[in-house]
Homo-oligomer: A and B are copies of this chain.
Amino acid sequence: MPSYRAPVRDTLFVLNDVIGYGNHDNLPGFADASPDIIEAILTEGAKLAENVMQPLNRVGDQQGCTRHADGSVTTPKGFDDAYRQYCEGGWMGLAVPAEFGGQGLPYTVHSAVGEYLVSANMALMMYPGLTQGAIAAILAHGTDAQKRKWLPKMVEGAWTGTMNLTEPHCGTDLGLLTSKAVPNGDGSYKISGQKIFISAGEHDLSENIIHLVLARIEGAPAGVKGISLFIVPKVAVDDDGALGESNAVSCGAIEEKMGIHGNATCVMNYDEATGYLLGEENGGLKAMFTMMNEARLGVGLQGHAMGEAAYQGAVDYARERLQGRSLSGPKAPEKKADPIIVHPDIRRNLMSMRAFNEGGRALILLTALKSDIAHLSEDAAERQAAEDHLALMTPVIKGVLTDKGFEHAVMAQQVFGGHGYVEEHGMSQFVRDARIAMIYEGANGIQALDLVGRKLPANGGRAAQAFFRDVAEFCEAHRADEQMAPYTKALKKGLNDLQAASLWLMQNAVQKPDNAGAASYDYMHLFGLVALGLMWGRMIKAAQDRLAGDADGDASFLEAKIVTGRYFMERIMPETVAHLARISTGADTMMALPAEAF
């Protein structure tokens, strides 16, 4: 079983030395979370992850969840206690306003700790994760009465939340959904229909479950314009907050799935269950997107967190497993063989994971900071720029970091050889768990379309242009710096490819939308490489600066940072060329075969 060590020092480096977290103490909540306090919070979160969550990770995978004949669901042994500790520690409401029982701290801090907890136990953390998504939706779209009624208990963790979108015949295309809502006349609705793939749909961790359910009010327009969002509690709540009768909602089955066994993925049946409109009538999709956008960042974080956890497992094994001798002569002549970390191809795997993980962490934290700025800043221009960044990077973080998180879980498993394929070492679980992140909250192909079709052209391309300018300015600013020149050169080359791809899209995709679809996946990954490249440029610069001054005991950490950045620039950035080449071929060949020819 792999052990897990939360990378607190790296998080602090990113926050303090790279993204300038400390420059924002004018924002609400930031003053309460000064760098010292953040370090204390991260350290506490690390302990919870390492000591409470991680030991239950394999237990959860092995036991899974059990549905009983009465429709109730039992979670794996120990999950209830860990969940209780999570709630008692105040982690559920870390970034929720104090008026609803939260701690009102920055979302950036929430994301930093979230990585550790998800690395330690992804399946368990989905219960609070879904709850936080539901809290966000009620905060954004609920009436004052709804917020007062539902939020405090959810923030406390006594009630959890879910998202109910998918139906058997519709996932991506929500316009097809058929669940229906009939007005009761008293402001409430009768909700009926079947939802599938509902994470945390039924379980024994909380006394109530607040389902957010998409349904169609009788007589509503067809398609996505006729969808509304409803709050449907598992157990009725009266005006004093007391629990009443069970609602007509039940778990019909638990899905048998590839991974995240510790999370109950449910078929949910609504049979004239009482529900309450959240947000506007027929405005359900918009309201759901509030949850979806935050959820997409959360899923990107999951991909990243799985890549990090798997990487740590591979490092430990590569340092211990003795097999063969270094090509350049024995490195541990006193042992019967060298540890496999001496072999270049093992290093290739470790360095590739490491370079992505550290870049991904920086991109996630920067984007979380932009989310805080977008929500909290009083400066309209700063807010708009932050919103632009957030909108643009959400599909990139979701699509690229989950693809890579899975790829790296597979790489880490490969380092173990046959021992990676048996379940005993836990590497198979990382692969199986990480796989879902590429699929849910919009499969990665949908993220790519969102980037190319929506985010890129939005507001005349303002967000993308701002990003390109950031990269270009960074390269220009450090071009003459001899220490930085090799990195800015590689980054500039990546930017050139990205801009060429963007230009190709402008010239070819408007009249022929299939060209956009055909290019989208490669474009998303090309974009991700440049976005991670910029983070690497900034991290290398920050490390060089600190090494030139007072490294404060971090010298070997900072030197390793620079080596890892160099690996990214030398070995990973060149992939932009292949992406551009593919993008430029367009859709013709891809779409040429008639469907029956496959």
A435 at the binding interface (Cβ < 8 Å): yes
A98 at the binding interface (Cβ < 8 Å): no
In the complex, the count of this chain's copies comes to 2
Give the CA-CA distance A80 to B436 in the complex, in Å: 35
Contact B417 A443 (CB under 8 A): yes
Contact A414 B444 (CB under 8 A): yes
A336 at the binding interface (Cβ < 8 Å): yes
Nearest-CB distance from A31 to chain B (Å)?
Answer: 36
Contact A336 B418 (CB under 8 A): no
Nearest-CB distance from A71 to chain B (Å)?
Answer: 19
- Report which of B326, B345, B428, B591 forms a contact with A520, defined as CB distance below 8 A: B345
Give the CA-CA distance A350 to B449 in the complex, in Å: 17
- Classify the interface of chain A: helix, strand, loop or mixed: helix
Contact A345 B571 (CB under 8 A): no
Give the CA-CA distance A567 to B341 in the complex, in Å: 38
Nearest-CB distance from A400 to chain B (Å)?
Answer: 15
Chain B residues with Cβ below 8 Å from A350 are 598
User: Known interface pairs A176-B337, A582-B571, A590-B348. Does A257 touch B414 (Cβ–Cβ under 8 Å)?
Assistant: no
- Report which of B337, B424, B513 forms a contact with A256, defined as CB distance below 8 A: B424
Chain B residues with Cβ below 8 Å from A343 are 445, 517
User: Known interface pairs A166-B418, A439-B414. Does A517 touch B566 (Cβ–Cβ under 8 Å)?
Assistant: no
Interface size on A, residues (CB 8 A): 96
Residue among A166, A176, A512, A597 with max Cβ neighbours from chain B (10 Å): A597
A518 at the binding interface (Cβ < 8 Å): yes
Contact A571 B597 (CB under 8 A): no
Of A42-50, A117-125, A317-325, the one with at least 4 CB within 8 A of chain B: A317-325
Contact A351 B422 (CB under 8 A): no
Chain B residues with Cβ below 8 Å from A345 are 445, 448-449, 517-518, 520-521
A153 at the binding interface (Cβ < 8 Å): no
A69 at the binding interface (Cβ < 8 Å): no
Q: A255-B424, A577-B578 are in contact. List 16 more A-B contacts (CB 8 A).
A: A171-B418, A257-B421, A257-B422, A319-B598, A327-B513, A344-B514, A348-B518, A351-B590, A406-B410, A421-B436, A432-B432, A563-B592, A567-B590, A570-B582, A571-B589, A577-B581
